[in-house]
Structure 1
């Protein structure tokens, strides 16, 4: 799904752990009416023909904000169109960039208006397997995630509000997070230090020169004693049973190669609006010279 592709693009600066927990919670639960309400709302939201999303991601290291990503996402699944405007702040440096997906082509436009077409290559770990149908894939994914997250389901709270909407909340400390999730999270954080080189080498360095070095300076590479200390999630389901807002906060601690202690705080907020009423912007190709660049890894 293109929406997820654009979100992953923004999180590639080292926030993969947040995606593990954030997306994992979206799939859990089927045995309790509260979970069923949330799961039904999630599936209905995912099935929306179009929407506008405002995504805000921040990464703070020992209380100092080092990465800030602000994006407006427009997506229309029926027309196979999507666009995203992203402002990426690394320390005191800001970058503005636009992404477009239309007619099975992906484009990037830099702050100066120059347009690049992404030539997709096969990424590390990408599988050629395709599910017989989306229902089969969805069922298998839900079963796997349900097994991984275990008793986390018991911690989810759903509150009915006076205006007819519902508030979903989940709060976990390090003792409540399953050992397998701790292991996956620790591995993801340790390996995250290599992502910026892949990211920059194969595409974005052509658009934002020196981005890989900026990311290295702002995101510590944790190598020892990496642990998820806490995870919090809040979601709002509106009266139409659609998820309008999701906010997650993850706190991770660990030491870098110099044994310096770090506490990383990751905040992700996604607000949806204009559901089934969004027309994405399209890349202005008329009269423009388009340069092709590689994306992914062969």
Structure 2
């Protein structure tokens, strides 16, 4: 569920992936690569919990179509966490709260007084099957993953820059036009085209049932690009503080294309995240005493996996 909300606040995760992969490709390369790699590793190892504020906006021809604001508080050691998210698409505003406490996952939407408690059997089994914690901590697996990323990124490492001001550091990546690799443009265009299609996915109905969110409204508000889709520019950045911790990320992706009526669109996706209160964050909790509670049984494990991973 933390992953679900993070992606709601992201989606534009593509930008972060590009930045992370670019940095990891910079072994022995530029100072920007080495600095960011060091900060990533140090943050992952030393930060046990933090407060992360994320914001996402999607603009089309100068008009804001979607705004998402999320605050996620993590409690790494005891697997606790909380999140508070708002989504604004057109005139429709939705919100959701999430709590992971005492072995329970609790969800409350802004348009309801009911707290839904998810039964964890399916979720625990899915997480055990994924095996990701052990794999990510395995040095051999990490080295192989890094080698794969190195091969995929190629010359993108040459565009990462480092700007130092005292003990603070700023890392940037700016790509536009022909600087953007053809494979990135091709994959990005395919994702944008397919994302705009209405697949009649039952997962949206499931999300409405569980989270109280009308994702169809969000989907309908976004531009549906079908032709001449192109990523025009990618701007990414990260700030590193004096303790060698990453305190912020920012991404901006500019996309152009036409819809099936031939109308041109200029789309700008912006994603930002500010991290603070390292190792001093306590996730929010909720006292269910006296509140309306509904226990939700996720009996269909495949359905659970779809909305948990999406």
Normalization by structure 2: what TM-score? Answer: 0.83
Ranges in structure 2 where 5+ consecutive residues have no aligned partner? 299-303
Paired residue for 2:278?
A: 275
Q: Give the distance between the partners of 1:273 and 1:45, measured in 2 at CA.
A: 12
Shift of 1:266: 0.6
Alpha-carbon distance in 1 for matches of 2:50, 2:200: 29
Aligned to 1:29: 26
Using the alignment, how far apart are the partners of 1:89 and 1:27 within structure 2? 35
Runs of 4+ that moved beyond 6 A? none
Q: CA-to-partner distance for each residue in 1:255-281, whole Å, 9 max, x for gaps?
A: 223232211101011000001110101
Q: Which runs of 5+ in 1 are unaligned?
A: none
Q: Deviations over 1:152-177 (max 9, x none)?
A: 11111111103x11011111002111
Q: 1:287 to 1:26 in 2, by over 3 A?
A: farther
**2:50–2:279 Cα contact (<8 Å) kept:** yes
Aligned residue for 2:151, secondary structure, equals: helix
Q: Deviations over 1:184-213 (max 9, x none)?
A: 21121122235894552222354436x233
In the aligned structure 2, how far is the partner of 1:282 from the partner of 1:75?
12
Cα 1:30/1:86, change in 2 over 3 Å: same
| CA distances 1:58-96 after superposition (whole Å, capped 9, x unpaired) | 011111100001111100111111111111111122112
Residue 11 of structure 1 deviates from its aligned partner by: 3.4
TM-score normalised to structure 1 length? 0.86
Q: 1:81 to 1:238 in 2, by over 3 A?
A: same
Report whether the alignment pairs 1:154 with 2:152. no
Hey, what does 1:235 align to over in structure 2? 238
**Secondary structure at the counterpart of residue 234 of structure 1:** strand
Map 1:103-118 → 2, pairs under 5 A: 103=102, 105-111=104-110, 112-118=112-118
Aligned-partner SS, 2:67: strand
Q: Radius of gyration: which is bigger?
A: 2
Q: Deviations over 1:235-267 (max 9, x none)?
A: 110000001011110011122232322111010
Is the 8 Å Cα contact of residues 24 and 33 (structure 2) preserved in structure 1? no
* Backbone CA RMSD of aligned residues: 2.7
Residue pair 1:165, 1:239 contacting (<8 A) in 2 also: yes
> How many residues get paired?
289
